[in-house]
Structure 1
Amino acid sequence: MQNIALSVGRSTSSPETSDATAVRPRHLRARSSSLPGIKLTARDPDDADEATRDEVAQSDGLAARGGDDHVVRDEGHGEGVAAHDEARPLPTDISDRIAIEIYERVFDHITDQFTLFIAASISRSWYPRATHWLYHSISIPSRASYDLLVNQLHTSPRVQRWLRSTHKVTLGYRDGSGSNNSGTPFLDTFPLLFGQACPSLQVLDIGRILRPNPHPTFHRALRQFQHVVSLRLHDAELSNIAQLRRIVCALTCLEELALDDLVLIEPQLSQPGGVMLQDVLSRNPCNIRLKRLRVEAHTSDCIKTFGRMVDQWFVCSRICSSLVELVTVFENGEPGPAAQAGHVNRLLQFLGQSLTSFHCENYMELRESCDLAHNTALRQLTLHLNNFATTSP
């Protein structure tokens, strides 16, 4: 891609930023993994207002924290920068003729949160579209980030407004940092505080901070997320199937469920008092009908958990009766190819003609592969058996 330098000219005041105080000119550069070689340069003291910069800077701590792969440098400290990053900004007579719609289309293709943060803090004209995408997907990796967002929710009308359009929230530690018991728990209060604040939320990703026994108010408050259609639980431990079922069934519009490296701690099938789990499920039916299910397991405990979910829930209820897409990924040879095939085949038999797409990555041999005799409506099949891939349209 040719090197592009976007220079921000003087923008007219808007009602939202008319009370902005002047700030010193700043020259910032950002390189996005999706749009490499693009330089963002602010050269007008009135382009970036102080309130907007402070607010977006605080949001950086909770949703736009850049990693080591993000390059952000002050002008004059370009040592080590590749030559293609040294392009000068476009002349003013050219950049001023670029319609704001062009800039907005650029922002629509930027997925790097830190680049969006810089763009939102540079110019009033860039602020609306860049901030929209900045709050479109929010990551809350720690208790400190969570407390910062809660404070902004209570004190900033702007943050309240942007949160109403949030599409995805990721809760939990990234890149394997932290553990289930690291820091003060905050997940249990999230639906209580943000159930009404994020009415447009559709995707919820929870990892590493999910406790084995969440507080009862957590399950009840989850029902406030009435538009969540996709849930991912990963790298977590739950006490039993009943806890998992309460979380899933609280999201009444759920269509897609991903369970990656989930472990159930208690192996027993019965509840206190000798009541069998199947009896509890029958007395409290779940009205959710999943369309897509993904299960990924990297340890033998996770694979055994999948087998328990199949036997104790998936085939004992109607939650998978309308499933059209199934993905299973087992990256461990235990508890053995036959056991893995047995878990998968029991679910395939139950799904029958509803299944149209199946992706399987298992440590199996062809003689122990999946039985698809009941899946007569299958249109797409991908099998990875012992690292050999076979794809059929």
Structure 2
Amino acid sequence: MSVDGLQPLSPILAARIPVELHLEIIGWLACDRHSLHICAMVSRTWYPHSVHLLYEKVDIGALNTVSSMAQSAFKHERVRHNLVGTLALDLDGASEINSGRTLESALVVLASLMPSLQKLTLRQCLPCPLHTSFYAALRACKNVTDLTLCGVVLENYRVLFRVLCGFPQLRRVAFEGNLRFSHATSPSPVDSVLLRRSKHPTSCELRHLRISVSNKALVIPLVQWLVDSSLHTSIESLETRVADKHVTVLNELLQAIGPSLVHFRELVALNKKFAHLDLRHNTSLQTIELYSGHRSLTDIETVLQLTRALASVGSPRLTRIVLKCGDHPGSWKPSANVRAFDTADLIPLHAVIGRPVFDALRVVQVVVCRKRSQDVVAVMTINRLLAPWCARGIVSFI
């Protein structure tokens, strides 16, 4: 928080500003820990709110931090009181990998000190195999609803099932980074049967699922395991990366989820061979975010892919579509090896987006390149691609 060139308010004027306004401004600094430390030292009035925000999300990247925090908690009642209000815990063991140590003990030590914990992120911090004390620590995380597994190594899918079942209130799961299994590349039939027969709340209350693993070989067995289990039965929001070889199994997942799906988001593709998914079984969708891939907007292949993607939509409740175009300026430049579309090529696309299923659509947001020299071309191209929706006045650019 820089104060260079700013003059402090006079005491009379400062006294007229309500304390609630001060606290509201401090709330906007929730992600700036350095500024929160400064605010905590300004006055006794600012201290409680600033410290509350500092402890609301705890990030730990070294065992030394765990040790010092645990010692402070056992010595000082004030620290224990602040940890009670912690809502998010992020354990990042990347810096400890070379030393052969993990942050598994961090959750064991801190779980009982953070009874209000709702969001837990585990990044490259778990040993393989997991110690029994880790599973005991999971039972103390009774209020965790959001779990992210990023780059962790587990023995097999049975261990993954056991970890998920450790959180009785789990509602959101994200698989990210280089997630992998040391003793099994694919789930065994026994693993799927055990999960399907489970009566644990985790198997029927999961609402949000995010699949963004960088390990391409893991996507198919992981998704197949989710399809064979009962984890998908209540999913309302799905975010996933898409590559051509994963389309079949991801379509099986979408079909298994069925009408319960309300929000769907395509993440950046795993490779340049990009393909959209089939959404015809998800008849309750309200929002869709589509990713156009790395091709130029003027490429005929972009038109064909967009046509196929929108043709698969079968939800009459759809009110919002987000179309994210190429994520780098080079994707806007037409290549000499591809054919640009003409007016005749747009007839099937316009017929698809003119279907009655899109009558309830109210907003179409297009995320375009920020480079000014190409923005004008992008807007003109989008206006041609989405002409029926532009005529309705529902297309906007971000």
What's the TM-score, normalizing by structure 2? Answer: 0.68
Partner of 1:42: none
8 Å contact kept, 1:191–1:224? no
Query: Is 1:305 aligned with 2:218?
Result: yes
Q: 5 Å matches for 1:343-358?
A: 343-358=249-264
- Residue type at the aligned position of 2:235: L
Partner of 2:285: 378
Q: 2:73 aligns with which of 153, 169, 179?
A: 153
Unaligned runs of 5+ in 2: 296-301, 307-320, 323-360, 362-398
Partner of 1:104: 23
For residue 266 of structure 1, report the CA deviation from its aligned partner: 2.8
8 Å contact kept, 1:269–1:276? no
Query: Is 1:318 aligned with 2:224?
Result: no
Query: Is the helix fraction higher in 1 or 2?
Result: 2
Partner of 1:61: none
Write the deviation string for residues 308-330 of structure 1: whole angstroms up to 9, x where unpaired: 12222x11221110001100025
The alpha-carbon distance between structure 1 residues 324 and 225, as it changes in their structure 2 partners (threshold 3 A), is: same
Q: 5 Å matches for 1:1-393?
A: 30-31=1-2, 39=3, 85-111=4-30, 112-173=32-93, 178=95, 180=97, 182=99, 184-187=101-104, 189-261=105-177, 262-267=179-184, 276-282=190-196, 284-288=198-202, 289-298=205-214, 302-312=215-225, 314-330=226-242, 337-361=243-267, 362=269, 363=271, 368-387=275-294, 391=321
What's the TM-score, normalizing by structure 1? Answer: 0.68
- Residue type at the aligned position of 2:5: E
Write the deviation string for residues 325-367 of structure 1: whole angstroms up to 9, x where unpaired: 100025xxxxxx442112211111111111121111335768x
For residue 144 of structure 1, report the CA deviation from its aligned partner: 1.3
Q: Give the match's secondary structure for 1:116.
A: helix
- Residue type at the aligned position of 1:225: C
The alpha-carbon distance between structure 1 residues 279 and 97, as it changes in their structure 2 partners (threshold 3 A), is: closer
Q: Give the match's secondary structure for 1:326.
A: strand
Unaligned runs of 5+ in 1: 1-29, 32-38, 40-84, 331-336
8 Å contact kept, 1:138–1:170? yes
Write the deviation string for residues 197-256 of structure 1: whole angstroms up to 9, x where unpaired: 211111111112122322122123202111111111112222221122111110110101
8 Å contact kept, 1:338–1:364? no
For residue 369 of structure 1, report the CA deviation from its aligned partner: 2.9
- Residue type at the aligned position of 2:41: S
Q: Equivalents in 1 of 2:168, 2:138: separation in Å?
A: 9
8 Å contact kept, 1:324–1:356? yes
Q: Equivalents in 1 of 2:21, 2:100: separation in Å?
A: 44
8 Å contact kept, 1:180–1:210? no
Q: Equivalents in 2 of 1:137, 1:152: separation in Å?
A: 17
The alpha-carbon distance between structure 1 residues 283 and 381, as it changes in their structure 2 partners (threshold 3 A), is: closer
For residue 154 of structure 1, report the CA deviation from its aligned partner: 0.6
8 Å contact kept, 1:286–1:318? no
Q: Equivalents in 2 of 1:283, 1:254: separation in Å?
A: 18
- Residue type at the aligned position of 2:254: L
The alpha-carbon distance between structure 1 residues 364 and 354, as it changes in their structure 2 partners (threshold 3 A), is: farther
- Residue type at the aligned position of 2:253: L
Q: Equivalents in 1 of 2:157, 2:50: separation in Å?
A: 42
8 Å contact kept, 1:179–1:208? no
Q: CA RMSD in A?
A: 2.4
Q: Give the match's secondary structure for 2:35.
A: helix
The alpha-carbon distance between structure 1 residues 123 and 343, as it changes in their structure 2 partners (threshold 3 A), is: same
For residue 161 of structure 1, report the CA deviation from its aligned partner: 0.5
8 Å contact kept, 1:348–1:371? yes
- Residue type at the aligned position of 1:293: L
For residue 92 of structure 1, report the CA deviation from its aligned partner: 2.8
Partner of 2:346: none
8 Å contact kept, 1:180–1:236? no
Q: Equivalents in 2 of 1:238, 1:377: separation in Å?
A: 35
Between 148-157 and 100-109, the greater mean CA deviation after superposition: 100-109
For residue 124 of structure 1, report the CA deviation from its aligned partner: 1.7
Q: Equivalents in 2 of 1:381, 1:364: separation in Å?
A: 21
Q: Give the match's secondary structure for 1:123.
A: coil
Partner of 2:315: none
Q: Equivalents in 1 of 2:182, 2:57: separation in Å?
A: 31
Query: Is the strand fraction higher in 1 or 2?
Result: 1
Q: Equivalents in 2 of 1:222, 1:116: separation in Å?
A: 30
Q: Give the match's secondary structure for 2:165.
A: helix
- Residue type at the aligned position of 1:310: V
- Residue type at the aligned position of 1:323: I
Work out the percentage of aligned pairs sharing the same amino acid: 26
Q: Equivalents in 1 of 2:53, 2:197: separation in Å?
A: 43
Q: Equivalents in 1 of 2:162, 2:8: separation in Å?
A: 55
Partner of 2:384: none
8 Å contact kept, 2:196–2:230? no
8 Å contact kept, 1:285–1:317? no
The alpha-carbon distance between structure 1 residues 318 and 282, as it changes in their structure 2 partners (threshold 3 A), is: closer
The alpha-carbon distance between structure 1 residues 181 and 342, as it changes in their structure 2 partners (threshold 3 A), is: farther
